[in-house]
Amino acid sequence: MIGNLNGGYTRGGEIVEGSYEAEHDHAGYEVHSTKISVKLSVDAACMFNAIAARFGNTRFQLLESHFDALATEMFNALSDSDKEKLSNTADMEATDILIKQGLSEFTCAGAAGTFKNENATWRNYLALSKTSFASESERSYSEKVNK
């Protein structure tokens, strides 16, 4: 059977559709990513190479998402005053990088507000975490009072 006449996807159609989505996602991702250099032991680098090769990736592909998660974990461990300062610092640096990579007009909106031509990822994350924490604290207090 060559295709589904009812317009449904065949396995091949799903692959093509997934390729279009990946292409679209990758185009946006390139603007919102930057390279960094990391120096580590030869032993660790070689193990990352071996693990990545086992799964058909490069060590960079293997580690990329882990660095994103690590940044969030480290941010969460900061003092409240450092979170305020460093969220602004990181967002301003990200704004500069986005502009240098050709993103001339953009809007970043979230819990911290709406920012035109200014990245606010970390400020939005901070505002959202404050809101989530406040909600959890209120729930805990309410549960204690209502018992």
Helix pair angle (121-145, 59-77), 10° resolution: 50
Average pLDDT of span 56-84: 91
Burial of 120 (0-12, 13-18, 19+ CB in 10 A): buried
Mean pLDDT over the full length of the chain: 80
Q: What confidence tier does 20 reach under pLDDT thresholds 50, 70, 90?
A: low
Mean pLDDT of 19-42: 70
Cβ-based burial of 123 (10 A; exposed 0-12, middle 13-18, buried ≥19): buried
pLDDT tens sequence across 88-104: 999 999 999 999 988 88
Spatial distance between the Cα atoms of 134 and 147, rounded to a whole number of angstroms: 20
pLDDT of 121 reads 95
Question: 10, 17, 125, 6: which is closest to 69 by C-alpha?
Answer: 125
Q: Are 121 and 103 contacting, i.e. CB atoms less than 8 angstroms apart?
A: no
Q: Could you state, in order of their start, the residue ranges of all structural domains in the chain?
A: 38-77, 79-147
